[in-house]
Amino acid sequence: MTTERATLEDCTARYERLARRLLAKPGVERGTMMGFPCLRCEGRFFASLEPRTGRLIVKLPADRVATLVERGAAEPFAPNGRTFREWAALPDPASWSRLANEALEFASEA
């Protein structure tokens, strides 16, 4: 087993633990987005795991995403070269829980 594979497995397991906690909240359910496992709140996508990289993808206000990217806490989410302004890719699992909860709050307000 390679280190990269172990890292992806670790990220998948971490995503599943996070998903279980978030699924206990009202209106949160599982789904898929662009073939990725995701979480929705009342039908609105707010978090997803990018299985190829192991990054958590969260939907936040565009200005919040820009701030996170500027600070180096997130990367732009740009599948196929097209940047999604309200989506941030989180390479550091230490920030996942906090920012996933922030994304859930953003989805709940929409």
Is residue 2's pLDDT more than 50? no
pLDDT-above-70 percentage for the chain? 95
What is the Cα 20 distance to its own chain's centre? 14
- Give pLDDT tens digits for 40-85: 999 999 999 998 889 999 999 999 999 999 999 999 999 888 999 9
CA dihedral 3, 35, 38, 88 (to 10 degrees): 70
Number of structural domains found in the chain: 1
> Which domain range does residue 51 map to?
3-109
Domain CATH for 17? 3.30.1460
pLDDT of residue 6: 52
pLDDT of residue 5: 52
- pLDDT confidence bin for 23, thresholds 50/70/90: very high
pLDDT of residue 30: 97
Range 31-43 average pLDDT: 92
CB atoms within 10 A of CB 24: 8
Q: Is 6 within 8 Å of 47 (Cβ atoms)? A: no
Burial class from Cβ neighbours inside 10 Å (0-12, 13-18, 19+) for residue 83 reads exposed
Range 14-19 average pLDDT: 96
